[in-house]
């Protein structure tokens, strides 16, 4: 469950829905749906690299999900939404991401906690998209998988 606070007039439920649809599309391996959650020229920064536009975002996730064994789960908390203009809001939210990434480790789950800051644009029907989505990692660790043996993670 997303715990949320907001400035008066903010569509917290609409932004929470956008975040959950993003998580579902990534976790269920649907790159085209991830891309559709961004404005046409939306800016996505999942780390140091910046990716602009739906086609580039879809290509990024298609490549990222190439290993069929890679699995993720995204959990959101501490959502804050504040209006910044007509049909525009700023968001801040904490993201906890769990990933099984065989390229990093076959026996450990990667856990990352970070902040997502962004700007969202809405249409008159109340549909929201990311205009900007910036992820800043705060913590990262590995958790052993049940039945696994200790291993030094690969970089």
Q: Where are the domains of the chain?
A: 4-144
Question: pTM for this one?
Answer: 0.90
In whole numbers, what is the pLDDT of the chain averaged over residues? 92
Give the pLDDT band of residue 85 (cuts 50, 70, 90). confident
pLDDT at 70: 96
Report whether pLDDT(155) > 60: no
**How wide is the angle at C-alpha 44 spanned by C-alphas 74 and 76, nearest 5°?**
25
In this prediction, residue 119 has a pLDDT band, given cuts at 50, 70 and 90, of very high
CATH no., domain 4-144: 3.10.450.50
The tens digit of pLDDT for each residue in 32-80 reads 999 999 999 999 999 999 999 999 999 999 999 999 999 999 999 999 9
């Amino acid at each position: 469950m997303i715990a949320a606070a907001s400035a008066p007039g903010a569509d917290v439920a609409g932004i929470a829905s956008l975040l959950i649809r993003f998580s579902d599309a990534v976790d269920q391996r649907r790159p085209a749906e991830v891309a559709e959650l961004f404005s046409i020229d939306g800016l996505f920064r999942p780390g140091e690299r910046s990716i602009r536009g739906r086609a580039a975002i879809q290509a990024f996730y298609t490549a990222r999900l190439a290993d069929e064994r890679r699995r993720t789960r995204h959990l959101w908390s501490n959502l804050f939404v504040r209006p910044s203009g007509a049909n525009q809001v700023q968001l801040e939210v904490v993201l906890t991401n769990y990933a099984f990434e065989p390229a990093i480790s076959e026996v450990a789950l990667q856990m990352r906690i970070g902040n997502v800051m962004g700007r969202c644009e809405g249409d008159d029907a109340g549909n929201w998209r990311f205009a900007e989505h910036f992820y800043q990692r705060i913590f990262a660790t590995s958790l052993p998988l049940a039945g696994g043996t200790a291993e030094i993670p690969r970089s």
